[in-house]
Amino acid sequence: MTAALAALLIPLFTALGLLLLRSRSGPLVILTSLATLAAACWALVEVTTSGPQSLHLGDWPEPLAIRFQLQPITALLLVFTALIHLLVAVYAARSRHCRTRDTDYWPLSCLLQGSLNALWLSSDLFNWYVTLELLGLAAVALVALSGRKAYGPALNYLLLSLGASLVYLLGVALIYGRYGVLDITLLATQTEADQSTRVAFWLMTLGLMLKAALWPLHLWLPKAHASAPTAVSALLSALVVKGPLFILWRLWSEAAPVELAIETGPLLAIAGVAALLLGGWSALRTPWLKSLVAYSTVAQLGYALMALGLLMHWQLPALDAALWLFVLAHGLAKASMFLAAGELQATLGSKRVSALRGTTETMPVAMFAFAVAGGSLIGLPPSGGFLAKWMLLEPMLGQSEHWPWVAGILLGTLISAGYVFRVVALAFDRADPVPPDFKPDRFAHWLAMLPALVVWGLALVSQPLIAWLTGATP
């Protein structure tokens, strides 16, 4: 647990230190990020060797204390967060086009990482509310870094995020009123499928869905993510939306009464399919590059939502692996995509998709990163996205009464292929290439490529990864 605590505290202390010293030192953040990563890896090793651990904060007994729970998934998410944060920090420190270098990006992103880590570790309903608020405020503050034009979307994001928290909080209040506990493990032993519980779980789910931008509560996301600075967009899409998703997953897979989960599952799964189709459709239509990437986040979260819904409906723990593979693969691919998109649009001086004409010639690395990451989003083998899709397809095709769901995946795949290749095909257009305004920054382009390669590289460790995920999730 010490390692996990270290992963939690290092970013927080870094943020405080930076503020205290009025420092905006990228290298320092990179250094502490490395330390966090090391701590997170250590936690992962610890949890793999000696099993899940839990810590009662303040050493108080069961119903009173807030409990930290270090499960294998938690440890994996700690590592994942640290990895993405480190990558984006390197980008923010190094890229010529990154406008966040001389801003409060550094302490804010550290606080963001700290709050995410607090969220992964916690298992207390109210504590989650506070971490969600922390996460939301940090995210909005980061979006607002992009200057005045982002204030509108940032405000909308903030208000909806606050509203969502209060919807969630009312659910928590009802749960407390009904069962008198806040700890999720204690709750799990007591829940019954009565009216109060049902309404409480629905409220919490709705709030979290809004926060995670799950369809149909996603409308705030594209504008917010697209108007943020590039480094921030990457953090938001890769990490922040996964926080509420994690809580949703823990709620439904651990605490909710089985009848309720079976009953609610199809609704979530249908919302997931709708997200895939409508998010993908919007991505196909939008004229703006970053909006396209942001809409693709909406669509891709549909896969995760579908996995969650079906997991609940069929009570199939095997789908856990699919869900978390989606989260990992999407996070890596999206980080890569946003960095590439940001570099492309900064170098070309235009935010339009149509400006990408001929970029395979002028900026081959960035475009290649975009395409490779897109391949994982489509789910082309042997990328991480493919593995996740495979894990999701397997139980669907295994029984003939589940077959209708396959249509959702099929259409989703085709639509994602549509919007990814909409960009890629344009990039091969040599008839009338848009000349770049600057000399391309090759280091930044390779940095964008890195997570995309990692997500394809998951294929090399796929077997142990899947086995670990299947065994690791409770």
Q: Which of residues 70-129 bind other proteins (CB under 8 A)?
A: 102-104, 107-108, 111, 114-115, 118, 126-127, 129
For residue 86, CA distances in Å to 117, 187, 259 come to 14, 36, 42
Q: Which member of 28, 116, 158, 224 binds other proteins (CB under 8 A)?
A: 158
Shortest Å distance, C-beta 131 to other proteins: 6
Q: Tokens representing 263?
A: 């009953």
130 touches other proteins (CB under 8 A): yes
Q: Which is nearer to other proteins, 83 or 300 (CB)?
A: 300
Amino acid at 363: M
Q: Which member of 380, 448, 454, 455 binds other proteins (CB under 8 A)?
A: 380
251 touches other proteins (CB under 8 A): no
For residue 47, CA distances in Å to 77, 180, 212 come to 12, 31, 27
- Taking contact as CB under 8 A, which single stretch among the options 84-92, 268-276, 338-346, 372-380 is the one that binds other proteins? 372-380
270 touches other proteins (CB under 8 A): no
Q: Which has the closest alpha carbon to 423: 275, 278, 296? A: 296
459 touches other proteins (CB under 8 A): yes
Q: Which member of 49, 50, 58, 435 binds other proteins (CB under 8 A)?
A: 58
Q: Is the dihedral of CA 330, 331, 336, 341 positive or negative?
A: positive
60 touches other proteins (CB under 8 A): yes
Q: How many CA atoms lie within 13 A of 149 on its CB side?
A: 7
Q: Which is nearer to other proteins, 327 or 391 (CB)?
A: 391
Sort 34 into a burial class: Cβ within 10 Å, 0-12 / 13-18 / 19+: middle
277 touches other proteins (CB under 8 A): no
Shortest Å distance, C-beta 154 to other proteins: 6
- Taking contact as CB under 8 A, which single stretch among the options 87-95, 146-154, 283-291, 437-445 is the one that binds other proteins? 146-154
Q: Which member of 23, 48, 54, 63 binds other proteins (CB under 8 A)?
A: 63
Q: Which is nearer to other proteins, 258 or 467 (CB)?
A: 467
**Interface residues for other proteins in 401-420 (CB under 8 A)?**
406, 410, 413-414, 417
For residue 27, CA distances in Å to 88, 145, 229, 284, 404 come to 12, 20, 19, 38, 51
Q: Which is nearer to other proteins, 83 or 144 (CB)?
A: 144
Start-to-end CA span in the chain (Å): 19
Cβ proximity of 269 and 317 under 8 Å: no
148 touches other proteins (CB under 8 A): yes
Q: Give Cβ neighbours of residue 74 (< 8 Å, ≥ 6 apart).
A: 4, 47, 120, 121
Q: Which is nearer to other proteins, 83 or 123 (CB)?
A: 123
Query: How many residues of this chain bind other proteins (CB under 8 A)?
Result: 112
Q: Is the dihedral of CA 133, 135, 138, 144 positive or negative?
A: negative
Q: Which is nearer to other proteins, 33 or 360 (CB)?
A: 360
Q: Which member of 38, 41, 155, 450 binds other proteins (CB under 8 A)?
A: 155
Q: Tokens representing 66?
A: 């807030």
Q: Give Cβ neighbours of residue 90 (< 8 Å, ≥ 6 apart).
A: 30, 447
Q: Which is nearer to other proteins, 279 or 412 (CB)?
A: 412
Q: Which member of 393, 443, 450, 468 binds other proteins (CB under 8 A)?
A: 393
Q: Tokens representing 127?
A: 């504590």
**Interface residues for other proteins in 431-450 (CB under 8 A)?**
431
**DSSP letter (8 states) at residue 360:** H
Q: Tokens representing 334?
A: 């999206």
Q: Which is nearer to other proteins, 282 or 413 (CB)?
A: 413
Cα–Cα distance for residue pair 385/391, rounded to 1 Å = 10
Shortest Å distance, C-beta 108 to other proteins: 6
Q: Which member of 23, 45, 194, 287 binds other proteins (CB under 8 A)?
A: 194
Cα–Cα distance for residue pair 474/465, rounded to 1 Å = 16
**Interface residues for other proteins in 344-363 (CB under 8 A)?**
358, 360-361
Residue with tokens 């249509």: 407
- Taking contact as CB under 8 A, which single stretch among the options 53-61, 248-256, 275-283, 332-340 is the one that binds other proteins? 53-61
Q: Which member of 38, 41, 57, 450 binds other proteins (CB under 8 A)?
A: 57
Q: Which is nearer to other proteins, 68 or 83 (CB)?
A: 68
Q: How many CA atoms lie within 13 A of 111 on its CB side?
A: 22
Shortest Å distance, C-beta 30 to other proteins: 20
Q: Give Cβ neighbours of residue 185 (< 8 Å, ≥ 6 apart).
A: 67, 69, 123, 254
Q: Which member of 200, 231, 241, 329 binds other proteins (CB under 8 A)?
A: 200
Cα–Cα distance for residue pair 79/457, rounded to 1 Å = 17
Q: Which is nearer to other proteins, 83 or 215 (CB)?
A: 215
**Interface residues for other proteins in 161-190 (CB under 8 A)?**
162-163, 166-167, 169-170, 173-174, 176-182, 186
Cα–Cα distance for residue pair 213/80, rounded to 1 Å = 20
